[in-house]
Amino acid sequence: MRGESGPVSWSGIPATDLVIVTERERQEPIASFLNHLRRLDYAVHVIPRVAYQFVRRIPTPQILLVDAAAREFQSGGPSDGQPAWEQVPVILLATAEQMPAVRFGPGLHDFIILPANPTEVEARIRFTLWKTRGDRAPSDQVQVDSLRMNFSTYEVVIDNRRIELTYKEFELLKFLVTHRRRVYTRSELLELVWESDYYGGTRTVDVHVRRLRAKLGTKVGGMIKTVRNVGYRFG
């Protein structure tokens, strides 16, 4: 069940508790499983397998549950081995008949054999969160080295010194910090950070990155890396 303060996403708003990758939400035993989750008061977001590539638009969940019928996810992640959300634990959902075909891998944290009773479901979810919670942000704040960001108050602090950023500078930094080590092209950053409120060229990304580096200083600003002929990454 939820903690006393409730789950918080990277953006500082209540997070989607659970995301389920399935195309059988109206079929048994998935339909009954979804009803169990909702009775346990979890917010559940169901996405089809074909939409998995767009999960960056969904608030970071506590757990990703994957229907074993989505074969490329049977090892706990996409076929290329790169999870959509870093550090989000994965639970595989499978019937007894499907289990012999499951390929266990490092991306898979646990599994639930369907049909399952609500008590077992809640226990496995709580156990998975307990095992992985140490690697995840407990609140709407994140700290990387001397950089500390508060996503609710829009504060950026470096070595106890507050840094004043514009709204878009903050949003760009937040996106890069919460998607560390992954490289994004300028076009992707425009789509994901600016969304529909900007119609100019990709040069605006370069301008904002340059301003961020100047404001953050050599040490922290240097964490925003330029990947030649591709784009930018943090860390």
- How large a percentage of the chain has pLDDT more than 70? 74
What pLDDT was estimated at residue 75? 43
Helix/strand/coil for 82: coil
220 three-state secondary structure: helix
User: Which amino acid is residue 196, in one-letter code?
Assistant: S
**For residue 212, what pLDDT is reported?**
97
Average pLDDT on 70-78 reads 49
> In the structure encoding, which two tokens stand for residue 46, read together?
């169901």
pLDDT at 214 over 90: yes
**CATH number for the domain formed by residue range(s) 141-234:** 1.10.10.10
Backbone torsions φ then ψ of 215, nearest 5 degrees: -75, -35
pTM score of the predicted model: 0.49
Instruction: Give the pLDDT score at 58.
Output: 58
- CATH number of 18-135, picked from 3.10.20.90, 3.40.1410.10, 3.40.50.2300, 3.30.870.10: 3.40.50.2300
- Hey, what are 187's tokens? 């076009």
In single-letter form, the type of residue at position 211 comes to R
- Which pLDDT value is given to residue 138? 45
Helix (H, G, I), strand (E, B) or coil at 69: coil
